[in-house]
């Protein structure tokens, strides 16, 4: 359940990002014998935070250790920055024998959403990322108008979700030079896996941030209210545009401000595969869904897809809703 709430920026920062310096610290101010435990770590290269209420410090430490081990296991599958990960080996060799079930599940959902969104969500955009990164970060004075048209066309020739094969026998890319990035879905999948670990351990009062823009909640705050979270203003990301109450479920956010190739924000990491340029229909998309993987992927798909197709895409995911922020700063809800 999500609804508007009034809340100061200071308090929202405490709820979302406030974690003690120690790996696991109890807050004895929690009501009814429950203590608030906070853990800091990383997930797929991004800061990760768990905040959970529990009555037993030893039990909490054990479940947090299981969460950390699961994150480490999944990084060996999905991390682009690890040469030994399944994803890195697939990109390097063009094929991967006997991919893990985790990789198969994520790729299968990626290809399903790619078809549903008409290619707005496409995990094969890594060559475009590499192109823009080389252009803007690989030289002292890059052309501010972006890479040459012929270079963009060459990058687009390596993009296409239909050229990805996935089965229990192998994962394969059809053309040399292709590459996958699962940054728009794998972080959410990791969050779902961690939510499962916590549920199995009986943890039912949890707020977790397993990436720069992936939150999930289990249950409610011990005082009975929903968890309160702040949404960044896409025009001024250091400020909150609004504050929402988050019940059981996930919230994921996509915005071009997340990774800019140059200061104006005209060129960013959310590519329109129809043109090879950065998508510009919105400046921010926030998606709420029961699954963090679905919320993560939908936030990217809706950001890139033409606005007229947003309702059709959402209709295939019961329980999902989206807050879409237009370039002028106005926002609309879709469900």
pLDDT at 156 over 90: yes
Q: What is the pLDDT of residues 176-192, one digit of tens each?
A: 999 999 999 999 999 99
Residue 25: pLDDT band by 50, 70, 90 thresholds?
very low
Q: Is 27 exposed, middle or buried (0-12, 13-18, 19+ CB in 10 A)?
A: middle
Q: What is the pLDDT of residues 261-273, one digit of tens each?
A: 888 888 889 999 9
Q: How far is CA 68 from CA 71, 165, 204, in A?
A: 5, 31, 18
pTM: 0.88
pLDDT of residue 21: 25
**What is d(CA 172, CA 86) in angstroms, rounded to the nearest whole number?**
12
């Amino acid at each position: 359940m999500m609804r508007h709430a009034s809340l100061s920026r200071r308090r929202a920062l405490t709820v979302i990002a406030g974690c003690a310096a120690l790996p696991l610290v109890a807050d004895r101010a929690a009501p009814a014998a429950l203590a608030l435990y906070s853990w800091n770590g990383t997930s797929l290269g991004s800061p990760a935070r768990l905040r959970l209420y529990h009555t037993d410090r030893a039990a909490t430490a054990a479940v947090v250790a299981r969460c950390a081990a699961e994150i480490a296991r999944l990084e060996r599958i999905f991390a682009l920055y690890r040469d030994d990960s399944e994803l890195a080996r697939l990109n390097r060799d063009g094929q991967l024998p006997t991919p893990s079930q985790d990789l198969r599940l994520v790729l299968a959902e990626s290809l399903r959403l790619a078809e549903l969104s008409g290619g707005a969500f496409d995990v094969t955009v890594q060559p475009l990322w590499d192109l823009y990164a080389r252009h803007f970060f690989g030289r002292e004075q890059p052309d501010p108008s972006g890479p040459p048209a012929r270079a963009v066309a060459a990058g687009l020739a390596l993009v296409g979700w239909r050229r990805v094969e996935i089965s229990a026998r192998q994962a394969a890319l059809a053309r040399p030079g292709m590459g996958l990035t699962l940054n728009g879905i794998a972080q959410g999948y990791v969050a779902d896996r961690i939510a499962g670990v916590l549920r199995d351990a009986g943890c039912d009062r949890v707020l977790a941030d397993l990436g720069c823009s992936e939150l999930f909640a289990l249950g409610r705050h011990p005082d009975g209210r929903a968890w309160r979270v702040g949404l960044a203003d896409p025009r001024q990301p250091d400020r909150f545009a609004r504050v929402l109450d988050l019940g059981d479920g996930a919230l994921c956010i996509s915005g071009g401000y997340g990774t800019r190739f140059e200061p104006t924000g005209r060129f960013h990491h959310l590519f329109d595969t129809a043109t090879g340029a950065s998508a510009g229909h919105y400046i921010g998309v926030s998606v709420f869904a029961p699954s963090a993987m679905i919320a993560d992927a939908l936030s990217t798909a809706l950001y890139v897809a033409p606005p007229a197709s947003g309702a059709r895409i959402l209709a295939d995911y019961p329980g999902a809703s989206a807050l879409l922020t237009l370039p002028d700063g106005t926002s609309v809800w879709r469900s």
